Amino acid sequence: MIQESEYKRRRKTLASSLKNNSIAVVFSATAQTRSNDTEYPYRQNSNFYYLTGFKEDNAALIIRKGRKATESYLFVQKKDKQLELWSGKRRGVKGAKKLFEHDDIFVIDEFTSKFDLFIKESRNIYYDFSMKSSKIEYIVEKSKSFSSRSNLMPLIGKQRLIKSPEEISLIKKALQITKEAHHYAKDHARELTYEYELQADVEYIFKKKGAYSDAYTTIVASGNSANTLHYINNDKKLLDGALILMDAGCEYEYYASDITRSFPVNGTFTDAQKDLYSIVLEVEKKIISMVRPDILRTTLQEKSEELLCEGLVKLGILKGSVKKLLKKKKHKKYYPHGIGHWMGIDVHDESPYKDEKGKEIPLMAGMVMTIEPGIYIDKDDKSVPKRYRGIGIRIEDDILVTYDGYENLSKNIAKEVEDIEATYS
């Protein structure tokens, strides 16, 4: 668990990025309607949680930075027995003060009056330009007299690039649960009939082990379904001889995991499946081995494209000079996506890839990113040898950049051919 001292440090670090005589405002997420009077399970706004650790809705954070001091104020929903009867207990001001260390904590009903008071001594304001709410509209109107208005989110996103030891521990816990879920699902795949049954197995383990939500919608794509990158219908039959692409990760205490594995329904790769799988696996391992401080993500991308293109030529899927094929981007038909993305509180962490001047940010110790090359060949692609048609493969791991290289946080999730096939023995 992350201690309150770390949340305080995060707020202090953020304040150091603000101009003097500034005020910064962050709001909690609002509850989202599913249909009529039912709501989706509530999840806190990631940036608000990152700065506060507070999980309730109808809340706000104000950070004030003067010339000599920084102050932090939390606003929370007041205690209300009638509302709590329907929606559960609230901490209220008294309960929040026992757990969270701010200069003061108020009920959310006081937000506008306190905001009006605070801005009298502020010249600059920071807030989330993308958020829509009546309070944001109020802030926008009130801030017209400020010297400057700035989007706060890029500053928080930049700060979220580097994970603390406590954050890495939570990601590792999420990955331990995800490992158990992936292995459990592979063990039972040939006993099942539909993709959604495999999804149910994965999500059963997530919840059984204390990860109460998915980091994203689970993908269980068998056969040609794997050639739809964001396939989430999960309603096709699991046919003997088909390959399954399963992209599934849990969220543990707000921290994500993101893992893709590709494995045969019946437990044994065909020769064609093994040909393609071995190419993707070797490319993934090579790119992971390149991860280290100061290397650029685009360097990893370019190398993955070069290696996959070489493999496609070797199998006769592409024909011609690798150099010319890369220049004409012919390989993009079979590998259309990026090599990976930042991961943390969000599965696609809201952190920048370029700095304020548009220059790419190199990898640094403490960053966590996915590495996920893939090959996707549609069943109707007659330009490809028939044995390879209808196969989609992606292999994805979560990688921590260390001071002297990398740590594969998901290395214990089976991906070698012999380990996958041994699962079924």
Catalytic residues: 37, 230, 247, 258, 337, 341, 348, 372, 376, 394, 396
Cβ–Cβ under 8 Å, residues 125 and 21: no
Q: Angle CA(67)–CA(50)–CA(133) in degrees, nearest 5? A: 85
Long-range CB contact pairs, 360-364, < 8 A, 24+: 360/296, 360/297, 360/298, 361/161, 362/293, 362/294, 362/295, 362/296, 363/291, 363/292, 363/293, 363/294, 363/295, 363/296, 363/297, 363/401, 364/161, 364/162, 364/293, 364/294, 364/401
User: How many Cβ atoms are within 10 Å of 136's Cβ, its own excluded?
Assistant: 16
Taking the C-alpha atoms of residue 334 and residue 37, their distance in angstroms, rounded to an integer, is: 44
CA distances from 207 to 213, 263, 397, 410 (A): 7, 23, 21, 19
Cβ neighbours around 263 below 10 Å, total: 26
SS3 287: helix
Q: What share of the chain is helix, strand, coil (3-state, %, to 5)?
A: 40, 20, 40
Give the sign of the dihedral formed by CA 240, CA 242, CA 243, CA 248.
negative
Instruction: Give the side-chain half-sphere CA count within 13 A for 272.
Output: 16
